[in-house]
Amino acid sequence: MSLHVIILAAGQGSRMKSALPKVIHTLAGKPMLQHVLDTAKTLGADGIHVVVGHGADQVKDLVTDDVNWCYQAEQLGTGHAVAQAIDEIPKNAKVLILYGDVPLTAASTLQALIDGVTEEQLSLLTVYLENPTGYGRIIRDESEDIIAIVEEKDTNKYERLVNEVNTGILALNSDLLHRYLPTLGNSNSQSEYYLTDLIEIAVTNGCRVEAHQPQNEQEVQGVNNRLQLCELECWYQSKVSEELMLAGVTLFDPNRIDVRGSLVCGQDVVIDLNCIFEGNVQLGEGVSIGPNCLIKNSSIAAHSTIFANSIIEDSTLDENTIVGPFARFRPGTKLLAGAKVGNFVETKNTTVGLGSKVNHLSYVGDAILGENVNIGAGTITCNYDGVNKYKTEIGDGVFVGSNTSLVAPVKIGENATIGAGSTINREIEADQLAIARSKQRNIDGWIKPVKK
């Protein structure tokens, strides 16, 4: 039986106080809707149908997945939203209904829900809350079978005491959805078509409702305002920190690390305070990350050290490399084993060879450095003419003196030496010494200007 997922993402989210649609606000660096889509894909869905309304174009622009977009022009309730996708759902399929502002439901929780669906049985995700205020209540009969869901605004004083509540997430056979969805009414305090009414209709017609619960209530926590988004972010980050520490990572403070993507660590990795990891990051065995570092879509091999306040983006570092403090690696940087790039150095689209050093105050862009190269302080590669980028090639064993400008395109041969303060715009052959600076003049009797 095929699986189709309907994700409701049409609401404006007025309590977010934002020009952005609610579902594209980010959690752990990713839009909430994208979290839901990623989970749906892990379930092997044959079709994913996203119902959009407010800010539909903004939502679509942020999603690259192959989904079927359904438009809800007026927000007339969850039942009305599902109705916008019903024509896309084939007969005799399992249907899972999710919400774009409930981002952290575990795939295992949803799979259990899906597995409970039969031709005459619905699966409903419920949760027990100490404070159920704001949620629809699960109503059971004397046999503890679910017979209805009552929205809080429509509850009586007894129903309001129930602490088992509806999460809105359910799974059912598409034949039941096709059969009962058109029968929903809007005779309630909001004059909306509630999907929750489907439960009572199905039970009345002989169907059974099987309840499932998540492992954590945060799995089903929706986001209505920025405070709730922050609470969910903190919970998510705490779970990531816990998993990292249990896997052998030392975190100086688990409350001061943000993982906005995937972080894979080898044994004995040490991460200091206030570090941010974005995209896909791999840290090898024994890697040490100093405080206040940002690492994005990069791989750092074993026993490398990143000192404080360094930024590494779309880069690859081999084993035993040393970076920082205050270094910035822009995309395309590659450090080979034993290379060192020190404080206040910026690199871009550059390979630094085995054992080579760029220790301080330099910019090296669009360059290839061989083995055991030494780049003196204040050196820059002049790689851009305002339109085009050019390559600088530096051979093995080259020594570049401080405050040197290398005007690309230019090649420096093996074991060449460049005197400090030089501007190099022509090729230097192997083993040559190059000095390119104006002749010094010392003038006797010079009278300094004096302020009047």
- 51/70 Cα distance (integer angstroms): 5
- 352/338 Cα distance (integer angstroms): 10
Burial 293-331, CB ≥16 within 10 A → b, else e: bbbbbbbbbbbbbbbbbbbbbebbbbbbbbbbbbbbbbe
Residue closest to 136 by CA, chosen among 168, 108, 96, 113:
168
Cα–Cα–Cα angle for 75, 140, 220, rounded to 5 degrees:
50
- 45/39 Cα distance (integer angstroms): 10
Yes or no: say if 96 and 111 are a contact pair by the CB < 8 Å rule: no
- 184/195 Cα distance (integer angstroms): 8
Identify residue 129 by its one-letter amino acid code: L
Yes or no: say if 13 and 224 are a contact pair by the CB < 8 Å rule: yes
Residue positions counted in the chain:
452
The residues with which 389 forms a beta bridge, in sequence order, are: 384
- 373/399 Cα distance (integer angstroms): 6
Strands 417-418 and 433-434: parallel
Long-range contacts of residues 27-31, Cβ cutoff 8 Å, at least 24 apart: 27/103, 27/104, 27/223, 27/229, 27/232, 27/233, 27/236, 28/233, 28/236, 28/237, 28/240, 28/258, 28/259, 28/260, 28/261, 29/258, 29/260, 29/261, 29/278, 29/279, 30/260, 30/261, 31/62, 31/63
Task: Give the tokens for residue 106.
Answer: 């575990």
| 35: annotated active-site residue | no
How far lies 33's CA from each of 78, 312, 370, in Å?
17, 28, 46
Task: Give the tokens for residue 55.
Answer: 């800010």
Say whether 227 sits in a helix, a strand or coil: helix
Spatial CB neighbours of 384, under 8 Å, sequence gap ≥ 6: 365, 390
Range list of β-strands (E), 110-251: 121-128, 137-140, 146-150, 164-173, 208-212, 250-251
Q: What is the DSSP track for 82-123? A: HHTTGGGSPTT-EEEEEETT-TT--HHHHHHHHHT-BTTEEE
Q: Which of 35, 49, 80, 360 is catalytic?
A: 360
Task: Give the tokens for residue 124.
Answer: 């409903």
Q: Which residues are catalytic?
A: 360
